């Protein structure tokens, strides 16, 4: 699956015996699902177009309730597709999926009702754990950012101190150069012209 951010993940569907459990909180990737034509035209029927988003989910639920259908898992990467679209808008897709699930006869059995509760509880635990880890990660990031900010401020203070020290040193060098020039009576055309040039270079350092 290629995410809009550019990252990719490999989705591994459940084994055949775990499909009913997987469909409580998830769905099979229809992009990588292959079915015989007679499933659509005789045994299971077509997609129910009354469902705008979750018609594939409703079809899969009808499929797993048919005891004459054999499911199998093929361990190969079959398709590559982009995530997104209207099905990724959870406020729209999940209510429709839950409505379908609540009307599914198999899931009204006492075993599956309990199993659904356990799956949703597990989902909430995983979600809260993820949020807690994200919060801890944010706190760590803020701590590291503050430490880096303090280091930056210390370096900036040191930089300004060194800059001031350098400016003071340049001023002293320029002052010394003027004193030497005055005391030695340097003439631009005289032998000591090189000395004057060297002091001029010092003033430009």
Q: Which of 123-127, 163-167, 176-180 has the lowest mean pLDDT?
A: 176-180
Residue 193 forms part of a structural domain = no
Measure the CA dihedral 76/82/87/89, to 10°.
130
Q: What number is the average pLDDT over the span 129-149?
A: 93
**How high is the pLDDT of residue 172?**
92
The reported pTM is: 0.63
Residue 184 forms part of a structural domain = no
Residue 70 forms part of a structural domain = yes
Give the Cα-Cα-Cα angle 127, 128, 130 (nearest 5 degrees): 65
pLDDT band of 123, cuts 50, 70, 90: very high
Residue 100 forms part of a structural domain = yes
Parent domain of 9:
1-108
Residue 159 forms part of a structural domain = no
Contact 69, 44 (CB under 8 A): yes
Q: How many domains does the chain have?
A: 1
Contact 196, 181 (CB under 8 A): yes
Residue 62 forms part of a structural domain = yes
Rounded to whole angstroms, the Cα distance separating 37 from 194 reads 99
Residue 15 forms part of a structural domain = yes
Average pLDDT, the chain: 86
Q: What number is the average pLDDT over the span 156-184?
A: 89
- pLDDT of 167 > 70? The answer is yes
Residue 205 forms part of a structural domain = no
Rounded to whole angstroms, the Cα distance separating 22 from 35 reads 19
Q: Which helix (H) or strand (E) holds 197?
A: helix 193-203
């Amino acid at each position: 699956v290629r995410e809009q951010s550019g990252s990719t993940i490999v989705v591994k569907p459940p084994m055949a015996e775990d499909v009913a459990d997987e469909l409580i909180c998830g769905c099979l990737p229809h992009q990588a699902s292959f079915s015989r034509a007679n499933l659509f035209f005789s045994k299971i029927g077509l997609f129910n177009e009354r469902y705008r988003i979750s018609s594939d989910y409703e079809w899969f639920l009808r499929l797993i309730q048919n005891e004459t259908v054999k499911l199998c898992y093929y361990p190969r990467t079959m398709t590559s597709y982009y995530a997104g679209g209207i099905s990724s808008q959870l406020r729209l897709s999940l209510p429709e999926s839950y409505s379908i699930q609540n009307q599914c006869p198999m899931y009204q059995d006492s075993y599956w009702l309990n199993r659904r509760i356990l799956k949703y509880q597990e989902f909430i635990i995983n979600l809260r754990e993820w949020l807690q880890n994200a919060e801890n990660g944010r706190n760590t990031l803020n701590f590291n950012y503050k430490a880096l900010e303090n280091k930056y401020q210390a370096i900036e203070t040191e930089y300004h101190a060194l800059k001031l020290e350098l400016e003071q040193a340049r001023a002293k060098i320029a002052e010394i150069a003027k004193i030497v020039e005055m005391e030695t009576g340097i003439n631009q055309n005289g032998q000591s012209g090189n000395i004057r040039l060297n002091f001029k270079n010092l003033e430009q350092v």
